[in-house]
A and B are shown apart, each in its own frame.
Chain A
Amino acid sequence: MWCTNVPSMAFSLLVSVLSGRCPPGVKRAIAFFPLIVFLSAFSTGCNQPQTQTGPPEKITIAYSTLPHTTVFHIAFLKGFLSAEGLEVKANPFPFGKLALDALLEGKADMATQADTPVMFAITGGKKIYIIAQIASSSRSEAIVARKDRGIATPYDLKGKKIGVSLGTANDFFMDSFLTTHGISRNEVKIVNMTLGEMADAIIKGRVDAVSTWVPFIQQVENRLGNKGITFYDEAIFHEPLCLTASQEFVKHHPEAVKKVLRALVRAEKFINENPEESRRLVSEFIKMDRTSVDQIFNLFDYKVILDQTLLVSLEDQAKWAIKNKLTRARTIPNFIDFIYTDALKSVKSDAVRLIR
């Protein structure tokens, strides 16, 4: 607003000075006018956070203690959320799925998690909204295999025992990985296990490979040493991290949603400008050692957006879930109805690239 008005203001002032219609006091003030214009033009802090009046709004957010939730961590740590007048109760969870569960159980107003649990929740008929993607990565999933079990290329996985956490993003990644390499699910032995169990399982030889997830990829790699081999495949995988909220909450607290987003946008800017400090803060906050944080941090792209990739990703996974009967749903829901764009549009309109 300022930027468009300055030239016209300057022009009208100039005209009045030249025509000599202004009183002497104004003349003196006008002497300093160019200085003011200069200072204003070059000060970039155009949208300062609005200072909150009235009592702070209470809100509970369930978040995962993994580096890909950095945007939320920073927003919380740097006080961007409280600056918006929010009193945030932040509940930590080891995985996003657990955070979403808390949301679905009504224990939280908002949650952070990958898109897979969100897809399951929506196909399962849960009334939730995706508010924004807060990060994304194509290298957050990988298959780590033991070379001593004769695995050198993706094709060598045929007939091998693969540890996987069924119904999660690493299940979807493994499925895509096998399928695109011409291996069907039946041609491998799938062993269901939690992410925490995977390192032990592969070291002790109960499985030949594991489809796992950051930060466990690095954990497993470290323990296997040169016996291990890691298959990333950026071509077949894209994982958006989402901020979700119950539809009920969004309906009743649209302003709170905007405030949260405004804080997250500030955090995004902060992270991109201060990556070093962000890593240190996150490392302390989620109590993860610096080496692991450093390994994982750059795998993610920290941007608060809403774009078409989210829809495609959700649909791809829904297709897979239906086909593998991982959900009771028989048709792919219209995910666009579960994406709430209004808040992000009003906070940062060019961040919304979702065609409705």
Chain B
Amino acid sequence: MKIETRLKLNYLISLSVIIILLIVLVWIYRMMIKAEENEDLAADIRKNALERIMFRDEYLMTNVERARAQFISKTKTVDNLLTRALHNFTKTSDKALCEEIQKSFDITNTIFSRIVNIRAKDSNLRRGSIASPEGEQRLIGQLILKAYDLNGKIARLNDSAELTATNVREALVLLLLCFISLMVISNIYNSVSIGNLLGKRVKMISEGTTIIGAGNLGYRIAVSGDDELSILARQTNDMAAQLQNSYAALEQEIGYRESANRELEAFSYSVSHDLRTPLRAINGFSAAVIEDYADKLDDEGKRLLNVINDNAKKMGHLIDDLLAFSRIGRQELKKQEIDMHVLFNSAAQNFIYTVSERVFHLDIKPMLAAIGDPVLITQVIINLLSNAIKFSEPKDSIDIEIGCSPEEHENIYYVKDHGVGFDMQFADNLFGVFQRLHSQDQFEGTGVGLALSQRIIHRHGGRMWAEGIVNEGAIFYFTLPKSRNAE
């Protein structure tokens, strides 16, 4: 059963118990009202019947007409009450009792009127002063007897009504308690069972995910049931299976890449070795020609040999840069916390001497520490600074600003110059290997520096980009992860 279903069930049980309780309460309450009405009615009958007896006795003893009239009036009252009782009492035994009472009551009325008749006939009778004739005496005796009988029955009705009322009240209390305990027990049972289930499932999933999270992708959570958490467990299992597949695919891919890398390494090794040897030969022998045959060569011949010489050297540089670039991808990072200020500052010191004959403004703003490989980051900084200086050369002075701004997880560092700048439409070409925006004649360099720098930054999980305006200057940005110790 789903947990949602269980909770709904819990809620429905409570609701239905409450509804049933309400219905039963209303029903019992109505019963109680009726029972209490009947109780009052029976008490009323009893009270009036007793008052009627008092009028009866007053009349029998004093023969006063007023007492007789009052007796008759009381009789009517009782008669009305009895009619109501006959209608109101619903229990069979009570109804039968009411009928008996009515009968006894009627008999007492008959006897009373017979006594009244006898007294009316016997005009000699003075008001209670002399003994009444024997017939009347007999009737009075019977009247008293029937009245006792009547009152006994009324008392029984009274008791019955009281008992009914008491029973209904007790039933009310009892039912209330039953329903409340029923509800409480069912809710406790439901909550406990849901709690147990939740606890069991959550523990299972937690253990499972911990094991899977620790790297055992082959582990599967033992799943039973069809509730939400079981579904979650199954989904976790599916996820683990998916991860396992992806992991296997990745490992295979890594295997391919590693072998490709090894091939690449072998390739670059032989490039470095094999290409350099002929270059050295070109360079060495052209130098030998210049040395050994200086007297036989005219100036143009010497110049041409020097061109050969220089190009061989340049090609050597190109090869070296290319190898360095490829090495970055394979090199292991030795990450640590870097004081960027120190790094920028010491890198900048290297250039002070090279540009000493010109005005050189270097503004290093406050720096935030970063995480990275200091050797590689130094290489990036040197590349950027040398670029900035190089492209500022046509200007009268060299103005370089170095700064930093913090982001959420990383810091952005920038190197800003006021050099020749570049056209933003070529911004993407800046970081390509051997991509140049300026001719070799204008600015020397192999065109590998920025590609290499970007590669280093990418390997640190950062980004590198540039903004520039032709003849205004350029800003090179790179990001590095924040130091965890940073305040």
Interface pair A353/B181, CB less than 8 Å apart: no
B159 within 8 A of A: yes
A272 to B97, CA, bound (A): 12
Question: Which residues in B have their C-beta under 8 angstroms from that of A18?
Answer: 184
Contact with B along A300-321 (1 / 0, CB 8 A): 0100010111001101100100
Give the residues from 280 to 328 in chain B that come closer than 8 angstroms, CB to CB, to chain A.
Answer: none
A308 to B141, CA, bound (A): 12
Interface pair B139/A10, CB less than 8 Å apart: no
Residue of A nearest to B172 (CB): A7
Residue of A nearest to B179 (CB): A34
A329 within 8 A of B: no
Contact of A10 among B135, B155, B174 (CB under 8 A): B174
A347 to B152, CA, bound (A): 18
Interface stretch among B142-150, B194-202, B231-239, B426-434? Answer: B142-150
B110 within 8 A of A: yes
Residue of B nearest to A301 (CB): B100
User: In angstroms, how far is the closest chain A Cβ from the Cβ of B171?
Assistant: 7
A180 within 8 A of B: yes
Interface pair A312/B184, CB less than 8 Å apart: no
Which of B146, B149, B156, B167 has the largest number of chain A CB atoms within 10 A? B149
A1 within 8 A of B: no
- Number of residues of chain A lying within 8 A (CB) of chain B: 42
Contact of B173 among A7, A138, A238 (CB under 8 A): A7
Give the residues from 117 to 171 in chain B that come closer than 8 angstroms, CB to CB, to chain A.
Answer: 134-135, 138-139, 141-142, 144-146, 148-149, 151-152, 155-156, 159, 167, 170-171
Given contacts A14-B184, A41-B174, A301-B100, contact A309 B149 (CB under 8 A): yes
Contact with B along A310-352 (1 / 0, CB 8 A): 0011011001000000000000000000000000000000100
Question: Which residues in A have their C-beta under 8 angstroms from that of B223?
Answer: none
- Majority SS at the chain B contact face: helix
Contact of A180 among B135, B145, B177, B181 (CB under 8 A): B135
Question: Which residues in A have their C-beta under 8 angstroms from that of B184?
Answer: 14, 17-18
User: In angstroms, how far is the closest chain B Cβ from the Cβ of A303?
Assistant: 9
Interface pair B148/A307, CB less than 8 Å apart: yes
Give the residues from 187 to 235 in chain B that come closer than 8 angstroms, CB to CB, to chain A.
Answer: 188-189
A305 to B148, CA, bound (A): 13
Interface pair A37/B174, CB less than 8 Å apart: yes
Given contacts A17-B184, A180-B135, A353-B152, contact A7 B174 (CB under 8 A): yes
User: In angstroms, how far is the closest chain A Cβ from the Cβ of B134?
Assistant: 5
B362 within 8 A of A: no
User: In angstroms, how far is the closest chain B Cβ from the Cβ of A321?
Assistant: 13
In this complex, the interface size class of chain B, counting residues with CB under 8 Å from chain A, is 35 or more
Given contacts A179-B138, A235-B110, contact A309 B177 (CB under 8 A): no
Question: Which residues in B have their C-beta under 8 angstroms from that of A38?
Answer: 178
Give the residues from 58 to 116 in chain A that come closer than 8 angstroms, CB to CB, to chain B.
Answer: none
B437 within 8 A of A: no
User: In angstroms, how far is the closest chain A Cβ from the Cβ of B112?
Assistant: 9
A176 to B114, CA, bound (A): 13
A315 to B134, CA, bound (A): 15
Contact with B along A164-183 (1 / 0, CB 8 A): 00000000000010011110
B355 within 8 A of A: no
A176 to B156, CA, bound (A): 30
User: In angstroms, how far is the closest chain B Cβ from the Cβ of A308?
Assistant: 4
Question: Which residues in B have their C-beta under 8 angstroms from that of A179?
Answer: 134-135, 138
Question: Which residues in A have their C-beta under 8 angstroms from that of B149?
Answer: 136, 238, 307-309
User: In angstroms, how far is the closest chain A Cβ from the Cβ of B422?
Assistant: 78
Residue of A nearest to B163 (CB): A350
Given contacts A235-B110, A235-B114, A301-B100, contact A14 B177 (CB under 8 A): yes
B264 within 8 A of A: no
User: In angstroms, how far is the closest chain A Cβ from the Cβ of B302?
Assistant: 108
Contact of B185 among A34, A238, A307, A315 (CB under 8 A): A34
Question: Which residues in A have their C-beta under 8 angstroms from that of B173?
Answer: 7
A11 within 8 A of B: yes
Given contacts A179-B134, A313-B145, contact A353 B155 (CB under 8 A): yes
Give the residues from 4 to 21 in chain A that come closer than 8 angstroms, CB to CB, to chain B.
Answer: 4, 6-7, 10-11, 13-14, 17-18
Interface pair B182/A34, CB less than 8 Å apart: yes
User: In angstroms, how far is the closest chain B Cβ from the Cβ of A131?
Assistant: 18
User: In angstroms, how far is the closest chain B Cβ from the Cβ of A128?
Assistant: 22
Given contacts A18-B184, A353-B155, contact A235 B142 (CB under 8 A): yes
Question: Which residues in A have their C-beta under 8 angstroms from that of B53?
Answer: none
Residue of A nearest to B121 (CB): A182
A7-B173, A10-B177, A38-B178 known; 15 other A-B pairs, CB under 8 Å?
A6-B174, A11-B177, A14-B177, A18-B184, A31-B185, A37-B174, A179-B134, A179-B138, A180-B138, A235-B114, A238-B142, A238-B145, A272-B93, A309-B145, A309-B149
Q: What 5 pairs between A and B have smallest CB-CB spacing? A: A308-B148, A312-B145, A10-B177, A316-B141, A179-B135
Could you show 11 A-B contacts with beta carbons less than 8 Å apart? A4-B170, A7-B177, A14-B180, A17-B188, A33-B181, A37-B178, A176-B138, A237-B142, A308-B151, A312-B144, A316-B138
Binding site for A on B (CB under 8 A): 93, 100, 107, 110-111, 114, 134-135, 138-139, 141-142, 144-146, 148-149, 151-152, 155-156, 159, 167, 170-171, 173-174, 177-182, 184-185, 188-189
Binding site for B on A (CB under 8 A): 3-4, 6-7, 10-11, 13-14, 17-18, 30-31, 33-34, 37-38, 41, 136, 138, 176, 179-182, 234-238, 272, 301, 305, 307-309, 312-313, 315-316, 319, 350, 353
